[in-house]
């Protein structure tokens, strides 16, 4: 089992799913909405909320990306969604 597979297994035990960003209809819609603000949202940004980590294909094999996004979800669970979102958006 690879390190990525072990991490994904760990994340699953915490109720966190790792999803290909390109396979998600939700991310496609969000990418379309954000296209005018962030044209490379679908290709260059991993995204995490709602207990999911959406990873673009070119970052799929990155252990660092999964760990980084897990940190966001962990912090969100500790602080609560609203407080975390406000703190994240307005540092």
Give 14-69 pLDDT, tens digit per residue: 999 999 999 999 999 999 998 999 899 999 999 988 889 999 999 999 999 999 99
Q: What is the arithmetic mean of pLDDT over 73-90?
A: 79
Residue 21: other Cβ atoms inside 10 A: 24
DSSP class of 67: H
Look at residue 91 in the predicted model and tell me its pLDDT: 62
Look at residue 15 in the predicted model and tell me its pLDDT: 93
Look at residue 90 in the predicted model and tell me its pLDDT: 76
Q: What is the pTM of this model?
A: 0.84
Asked whether the CA dihedral 77, 79, 83, 86 is positive or negative, the reply is negative
Look at residue 76 in the predicted model and tell me its pLDDT: 85
């Amino acid at each position: 089992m690879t390190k990525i597979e072990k991490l994904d297994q760990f994340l699953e035990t915490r109720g966190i799913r790792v999803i290909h960003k390109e396979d998600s209809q939700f991310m496609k819609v969000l990418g379309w909405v954000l296209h005018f603000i962030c044209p490379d949202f679908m290709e260059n940004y991993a995204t995490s909320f709602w207990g999911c980590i959406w990873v673009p294909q070119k970052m799929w094999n990155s252990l660092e990306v999964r760990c980084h996004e897990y940190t966001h979800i962990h912090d969100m669970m500790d602080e609560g969604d609203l407080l975390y979102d406000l703190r994240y958006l307005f540092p």
